[in-house]
Amino acid sequence: MKTWRIVLLAAWLSFAGGVAAQEANVKIIHDKTEARLKEIASRVRGALGYAVLDLTSGERFALHEDVAYPQASAIKIAILMEVFKQAHEGKFKLTDLRRIEKKDKTAGSGVLIELGDGTVQLSLHDLCVLMIVLSDNTATNLLLDLVGMDSINRTLESLGLGQTRVRRRMMDSAASWRGDENLSTPAEAVRIMEILFKGEFINRPICDKILASLKKPKPGGIKSGVSADVQVAFKAGWISGVTTEWAIVYLKDRPYVVVVMDNYGLGDDATSAMKEISRTLYDYFSRFARATPHGTYLEKPK
């Protein structure tokens, strides 16, 4: 009996030592990746911040994650969520039609400003698609006026988000000068994407519909940093001096959230950094997605 106890104890110690050794090895890779991310950020002349969440393990990377940044078009995710929420509550139907009049048109990104005055009718769902895929500012302002800024902010507050706020319509430069800006932080944007990923906003089907919109093909810095066959649900934003992007990268067996924000930016610093950050994170997470517990790359048994 005593011999068997010794054998079992030795086996346990061997296992425990192996686990500890691998945790140490993983930490080496984590620390190298963290240093690489911070080095990329240090080369940006603006105030770049980011937050990253491994949706499998809860592991994080972050820099200035609680700093508030203007959001440009990334804030349209919050507007989209409120549209689906109010449709779920029966305040309107996503199939309801809206005619696009001259007074509705907003400059900047999108296509509706180029179409005829009063000659086009679109459903609210179509406006949502244009808001996300083409970042259409006319569609966005129509939806924003429909659901109301106060309602969006109350919903954000109910989700425990104290710094993410919608305070102006798209292309309202007077509001921007007053300081009435659409804001969020890297940490809160990551939380929003996590909530959607986990199906915790209203219900799973509504989260899936919101994510389906965000998965539609469009340009993005984070998307450009991952393999072409990996799906990404995201919304990017850009206005002069500001670059933002909120994204879920659906890497098989290792999905993760990436949010990058920059203001007071110069040139294409932030855009280039975002792509480099995305490539660095994809390299990091993809190796663990295909590695054994001891860091060997093997195809997983079926």
Q: Which tens digit of pLDDT belongs to each residue from 10-53? A: 443 344 444 444 788 889 999 999 999 999 999 999 999 999 99
What domain count does the chain have?
1
Q: Tens digits of per-residue pLDDT, 223-232?
A: 999 999 999 9
d(CA 259, CA 209): 21
Q: How crowded is residue 289: how many other Cβ atoms within 10 Å of its Cβ?
A: 16
CA 235 to mean position of chain CA atoms:
7
Tell me if 15 is assigned to some domain: no
Cβ pair 182, 239 in contact under 8 A = no
Tell me if 6 is assigned to some domain: no
Q: What is the largest CA-CA distance in the chain?
A: 90
Q: Tens digits of per-residue pLDDT, 186-202?
A: 999 999 999 999 999 99
Q: What is the pTM of this model?
A: 0.91
Tell me if 10 is assigned to some domain: no
d(CA 59, CA 232): 19
CATH number at residue 166: 3.40.710.10
Three-class HEC string of 81-112: HHHHHHHHCCCCCCCCEEECCHHHCCCCCCCH
In 3-state terms the chain splits into helix, strand, coil percentages (rounded to 5) of 50, 15, 35
Residue 170 domain boundaries: 33-288
Q: Tens digits of per-residue pLDDT, 56-104?
A: 999 999 999 999 999 999 999 999 999 999 999 999 999 999 999 999 9
H helix count then E strand count, the chain:
9, 9
Those residues with Cβ within 8 angstroms of residue 195's Cβ, 6 or more apart along the chain or in another chain: 159, 201, 207
Tell me if 294 is assigned to some domain: no
Tell me if 101 is assigned to some domain: yes
Instruction: Please give the pLDDT value at position 22.
Output: 76
Closest by alpha carbon to 292, among 28, 34, 26, 57?
26
Instruction: Please give the pLDDT value at position 8.
Output: 43
Confidence of residue 122 (pLDDT cuts 50, 70, 90): very high
